[in-house]
């Protein structure tokens, strides 16, 4: 009797990462521009509350939100 659980099928193996397309970049830019005002507002409120500038800045916040949201659009 043979054990077939060890060999993985070809479809399960890791695929090389694809280069982002132009469409992805356009969506990313739109989402980044849309999240920037809200990220600036939340950053300013957190600075006022904490009195410290140690939090991520508004650009970093908007960038991370765009990095989260854009792949969700393409995965749907």
Asked whether the predicted pLDDT for residue 59 surpasses 60, the reply is: yes
In a domain, 13, yes or no: no
In a domain, 66, yes or no: yes
pLDDT band for position 3 (50/70/90)? low
Q: Is residue 6 domain-resident?
A: no
pLDDT band at residue 8 under the 50/70/90 scheme: low
Alpha helices (H) in the chain, listed in sequence order: 22-50, 58-75
What pLDDT is stored for residue 76 in this prediction? 74
Q: Is residue 61 part of a domain?
A: yes
Percent of the chain, pLDDT > 70?
76
Q: What domain range is 25 assigned to?
A: 20-75
Please report whether residue 29 resides in a domain: yes
CA distances to 21, 47, 60 from 18, in Å:
9, 38, 24
pLDDT of 39 higher than 80: yes
45 belongs to a structural domain: yes
Q: Looking at residue 28, what is its pLDDT?
A: 94
Assigned domain for 14 exists: no
Asked if residues 65 and 30 have their Cβ atoms less than 8 Å apart, the reply is: no
Number of domains in the chain: 1
Q: Is residue 64 part of a domain?
A: yes
């Amino acid at each position: 009797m043979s054990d077939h659980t060890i060999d993985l099928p070809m479809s399960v193996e890791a695929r090389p990462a694809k280069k982002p397309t132009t469409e992805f970049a356009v969506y990313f830019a739109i989402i980044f521009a849309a999240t920037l005002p809200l990220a600036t507002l939340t950053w300013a409120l957190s600075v006022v509350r904490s009195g410290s500038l140690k939090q991520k800045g508004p650009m970093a916040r908007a960038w991370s939100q765009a990095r989260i949201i854009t792949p969700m659009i393409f995965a749907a």
